[in-house]
Amino acid sequence: MLLAIWFVVTFVVSYFARDLSFSFFGWPFSFWMAAQGSPVIYCLIVWFYARRMGQLDVRHGVDEREE
């Protein structure tokens, strides 16, 4: 699922950005997506992945926390 989100943000939205000619927070959507939206979504993907892998480590008893 995360790879699909990455693909859509990286290729699909960027490819069709010129056709999406509406204002988003006062900027053209294509500019906003390239300058702000994509990096924010990438950071959210990394955060979610790290959080989920941490949960799985704890569930399977291989977490690296000292007890």
Q: What is the pLDDT of residues 15-51, one digit of tens each?
A: 877 777 777 778 787 777 777 888 999 999 999 999 9
Question: Please, are residues 49 and 32 in contact by the beta-carbon 8 Å criterion?
Answer: no
Distances (CA, A) of 41 to 6, 51, 58, 60, 62: 8, 15, 26, 29, 29
Q: How far apart are CA 24 and CA 67, in angstroms?
A: 48
If one compares 19 and 2, the residue with the highest pLDDT of the two is: 2
Give the pLDDT score at 19: 76
Predicted local confidence at residue 66, as pLDDT? 67
d(CA 16, CA 1): 21
Residue 24 DSSP SS3: strand
pTM to 2 decimals?
A: 0.75
- Hey, what amino acid is at 24? F
